[in-house]
Amino acid sequence: MASESSPAPARTEQRDYYEVLGTQPSATADELRTAFREAVLRHHPDRSEAGSLATRRTSVLNRAWSELRDPLRRLHYDRALERGGAETLAWPLDADERARPVRQRRARVLPTEPSRWHQPEWRNVAGFRVPVAVFMAGPARQNAWIVEHHIAGEDWRTHGEQYWLRYAAEHYRERNRLDDWIGALERLIELDPGFETLTRSNLRQAYVSTGMFLRGIGFLRGIAERYAAPDSAQRRWVDRELRALLAEFRDRRVRRGPAAERAEAAELLLNYLEALGMEPGFPDVRAAIAAHRRAGHPGRAAELVERVAGAPVTEPARWFSLVQLLTEAGQLDRASDLLAAIARGEHPQALDRRRIGGDPVRRIGAARRRLTQARSRARRQALR
């Protein structure tokens, strides 16, 4: 008796995902979405007398839609469908509904009706679509094709795709198009706020190799404003890059070149450091003093000497640097007095081997030799 009252087992039919939604593999994304919505409405439990059957059908519809709505997963499914190995779903049938004849499930996508997601004639290279024949020809042919079809004649100012800007920046660099190279890099960093993009762009190297120091200082100064917390790792990295770029500017423009240009560059360097809220380092002031003395500006050089001499000495080794600075500035008596005070132990931290990172006796001896040589040069010049 129990077997007579038990319900008949549910009948199902295997269908691929497109058959479940009632559409074709060639359907566009919008057509696929419309077919799913119509199928859900048609089989919704609230609209069907057989609530249990409708619930099972809705579950199958949701599973098919979750696979085909994703472009990459749909592409893999289309390829499996073409090979005849695509997964199917058990579609519930009504009690009086007849199952369709079993069919071969090979090559569901006909040559006259290919999937719009499957494009075997293209390959991806650095974000660009490249024909298969070009791809197989190797990197040199790929690069030439990308330049011809995507880079040549284009203006980086009109592009916002990060992959395009990365490729274009390298293209400009190889062809010595310096303004375009720097511009593409700056636009890439402005569009992508990620810290990794900033660190991998090698901006400082680009500014140094092109000699665009002031442009680089201005741009990095703007980037520093992204990171408001001065103690953050990102802000410290940007500050180090600024310091390094300023040091390159000092070595290239303040320590080299015609005297007048060196003095002008020295003032620019000090002004930039002040604007950035950075204390000028000893090498910065030393280079500025030498530039002004060479340019015939003794007053400005003396002013900078007093600026350094009047500042508190926070590093023990700075005492010896100050002696060297006074010697180079021609203030030999003052340098001699300071060196004698160091030797007498009036600045004991300057005699601490560990704190100055060297032998204080050797440093005192080297400073004395420089003083002796400077006095000899001064006497020779006086006799001329």
pLDDT tens for residues 89-115?
Answer: 888 887 666 666 555 554 444 445 555
The residue type of 320 is F
Q: What is the pLDDT, as a whole number, of residue 308?
A: 83
Q: Which residues of the chain have pLDDT under 50?
A: 1-5, 106-111
Task: Answer yes or no: are the C-beta atoms of 142 and 149 closer than 8 Å.
Answer: no
User: Could you give the CA distance from residue 278 to residue 281 in angstroms, rounded to a whole number?
Assistant: 9
Q: What is the pLDDT, as a whole number, of residue 179?
A: 93
- Domain boundary assignment for the chain: 7-92, 211-311, 316-384
Rounded to the nearest 10 degrees, what angle do helices 203-210 and 233-249 cross at?
Answer: 10
Q: What is the pLDDT, as a whole number, of residue 53?
A: 79
Q: What is the pLDDT, as a whole number, of residue 229?
A: 81
Q: Give me the residue label for tokens 């508190």.
A: 312
pLDDT tens for residues 160-194?
Answer: 999 999 999 999 999 999 999 999 999 999 998 88
In sequence order, the 6+-apart residues with CB closer than 8 A to the CB of 139 are none
* Of 332, 331, 335, residue with least CA distance to 301: 331
Alpha-carbon torsion (19, 21, 23, 29), positive or negative = negative
**From the candidate CATH numbers 3.30.450.20, 1.10.490.10, 1.20.140.10, 1.10.287.110, the one assigned to the domain spanning 7-92:** 1.10.287.110
The residues with which 14 forms a beta bridge, in sequence order, are 90
Alpha-carbon torsion (65, 70, 73, 75), positive or negative = positive
Q: What is the pLDDT, as a whole number, of residue 248?
A: 93
* Cα 375 from chain centre: 53
In sequence order, the 6+-apart residues with CB closer than 8 A to the CB of 178 are 172, 210, 212
Query: What would the two tokens of residue 309 be?
Result: 């001499």
CA angle 66, 67, 72 (to 5 degrees): 125
In sequence order, the 6+-apart residues with CB closer than 8 A to the CB of 100 are 13
| Helix/strand/coil for 268 | helix
Q: Give me the residue label for tokens 């499957």.
A: 118
Please provide the size of the chain in residues.
Answer: 384
Q: Give, in order, the Cα–Cα distances in Å from 356 to each of 310, 320, 366.
A: 21, 9, 15
